[in-house]
Structure 1
Amino acid sequence: MNRYGSAREALAARIRYVQDWPEEGILFEDLTPVLADADAFQIVVDELADACVRLNAGMIGGLDARGFLLGSAVAYKLGLGVLAIRKKGKLPPPVITEAYSLEYGTAALEIPADGQDLAGVKVVLVDDVLATGGTLVAARKLIEQCGAEVVGNVVVLEVAELGGRERLSDRPLVVINE
């Protein structure tokens, strides 16, 4: 039996807050203790998976890096494949690349340009935190270039004051810590 009644309770008990990281003025919400606690991890994955089912996921897109951990667990639970959406420079060529802005800089995401057929696949993007929305928007652009459809976004936490929700307003968004 899980000692947490909900993902929200597990997150409240286990998130570690780190001030001024990775840059001054940023309050980093570290999910590492959540992932290390079997009960907390299980209830978070269960709630993410439930959201993906409601969004009619045919595949899970896990965003580098904590989205890999969460997305892989969700995909396994649902019997779906997982698309690893990587940070630039982590995959061998050929790749498709999409640059984006973060709340503290810029970055780029990549997926393989071949080796997988995504045409017509309904993908739900899974990540740990929604901040500016740049990462999820870039991931969506990558996936849609391959002919797949992003049918929703599922995240654990949202930094609401950074406005990411508005950038994703044309697709369903589920934040399990709401």
Structure 2
Amino acid sequence: MNNPIPYQDPIELVRSLIRNVPDWPKPGVMFRDITPLLQDPRAFRALIDIFVYRHMRHKLDVVVGIDARGFIFGSALAYALGVGFVPVRKQGKLPYKTVSAAYTLEYGDAVVEVHQDAVKPGQRVLLVDDLVATGGTMLAAVKLLQQLGSNVVEAAAIVDLPALGGSSLIAKTDTPFFSVCTF
């Protein structure tokens, strides 16, 4: 007889596999590394299921993932929900006409872009990334999607670092925010 795998709360399973990397990419920063979570098939499935069950009734048109880790689970989520996937990329990575937004993040300034025809006015969009710290990247992506006329149903992340204020800034845009876990 096979020994069954004991039940583990999916959120705790996800949280338990996020590795802390002190002093990376610079001294004083505690980096939250999701790669152990992605390497564990049970945890990765649990993560996608958490998002699927949360959003399956939202009648989404597209999932938008933010460069680069948002692509990993954003595309799996889009597949599971039966909707399209759109990448928001770092500046200069997309081949067609783009719209862009500049922002400030913990380590400097950056620009993100999306193809100008990536979403259509009125489309219902779920925006995903791995982590929200100061919120700059996600806020820039919300701005781009709204500029294109889409309805950002929710901005979501695996990890929220609320002490850095990003999720509060996202909430001030009237964009609902969800994270699987906080640190």
Q: TM-score, normalised by structure 2?
A: 0.89
Question: Any idea what SS the aligned residue of 1:176 has?
Answer: strand
**Alpha-carbon distance change, 119 to 105 in structure 1, aligned in 2, over 3 angstroms:** same
Q: Which residue of 1 aligns with 2:68?
A: 65
Q: What letter is aligned with 1:177?
A: C
Asked if 2 retains the 8 angstrom alpha-carbon contact of 1:48 and 1:155, the reply is: no
- 1:77 paired residue number: 80
Higher mean C-alpha displacement, 31-40 vs 8-17: 8-17
Residue 106 of structure 2 corresponds to 103
Q: Are 1:23 and 2:26 matched, yes or no? A: yes
Rg larger in structure: 2
1:15-65 deviations in Å (ceiling 9; x for gaps): 111111112211111000100110010000110222223544221111111
Query: Partners of 1:102 and 1:108 in 2: how far apart?
Result: 10
Matched AA of 1:19: P
Runs of 4+, deviation exceeding 6 Å:
none
Q: Shift of residue 144 of structure 1? A: 1.4
Question: Any residues of structure 2 matched to 1:1-150 within 5 Å, and which?
Answer: 5-53=8-56, 55-114=58-117, 116-150=118-152
Larger relative contact order (Cα-Cα within 8 Å, sequence gap ≥ 6):
1
Gaps of 5+ in 2: none
SS in 2 for 1:89: coil
Q: 1:172 aligns with which of 170, 176, 181?
A: 176
Q: Note if contact 2:101-2:141 (Cα within 8 Å) is conserved in structure 1.
A: yes
Distance in 2 of aligned mates of 1:36 and 1:4 = 19
Query: Which letter does structure 2 place at the counterpart of 1:49?
Result: V
Count of aligned pairs = 177
SS in 1 for 2:56: helix
Shift of 1:2: 6.9
Q: Is the 8 A contact 2:125 2:150 kept in 1?
A: yes
**CA deviation after TM superposition for structure 1 residue 118, in Å:** 1.5
The answer to whether the 8 Å contact 1:119/1:147 transfers is yes
Given the superposition, is the C-alpha separation of residues 31 and 117 from structure 1 closer, same or farther in structure 2, using an over 3 Å criterion?
closer
Extract unaligned runs of 5+ from structure 1.
none
Kindly indicate whether the alpha-carbon contact (under 8 Å) linking 2:122 and 2:151 is maintained by their aligned counterparts in 1: yes
Q: What is the rounded CA distance, in whole Å, between the counterparts of 1:2 and 1:82 in structure 2?
A: 33
Distance of 1:47 and 1:131 partners within structure 2: 21
Percent identity (aligned)? 41
CA contact (8 A) 1:67 1:127 kept: yes
